[in-house]
Structure 1
Amino acid sequence: MPGGISDLDKNRALAQWLEWQLRQVKGRIREFETKEQQERRRREQAHAALRWKIQPQRSSSSALVHRGDCALYPVQGGFLTREEAVIALAEPDISPCEICRPETGLVGG
């Protein structure tokens, strides 16, 4: 075909364009996956902030109650309910964390 584009060149151009489109779509998928992971972490943190956890007693210190999102003691097991946290804080050998101050979330509950 004089002066025209051959079928082979047309298909190569089409393949390049489709590969470009695929890269664009894969990039958007990565963005959506990142946003989804961030949202899931945000929901988990918000849920943890409304719960409590106990750090077991060490030989040199008493057991501590923390807010669920307190970074000083990562969750090792389950969370406490509000009622369980109130009961725990009433115990003489269990103290509230001085950093996250879990008792503020329990007062007047």
Structure 2
Amino acid sequence: MGETIIQADVTIEGDLLAKGGTISINGHVSGDIEARAVQILAPGTVEGSINAEDVAISGQLQGSVKCDVLSLSEESIVSADVAAGTMTMKSGADLTGRVSVRGQ
């Protein structure tokens, strides 16, 4: 499946849907995202909910995330309710919110 890239100079207001694909965010998204995989790259930001199989965050998320696999890098800043199957979090990551990791 394809990959959609939101460049650093792009702001999107609205929901994004790419059920079988990957969305990589360098810019700003204000809305909900549903995809197979989502990457929030630094300096990318998302305000909304994310529903995906795989989520990797190096940028910022404010909202919620529901996924099978969540990875937070040392640069990530997350203020969200998290529901994940598994989660890895590097030293230096900033996470605030309710977290539920069910293990797989």
TM-score, length basis structure 2: 0.24
- With CA pairs under 8 Å and 6+ residues apart, which has the higher RCO, 1 or 2? 1
Structure (1 or 2) with the greater strand fraction: 2
Larger radius of gyration: 1
TM-score, length basis structure 1: 0.23
Structure (1 or 2) with the greater helix fraction: 1
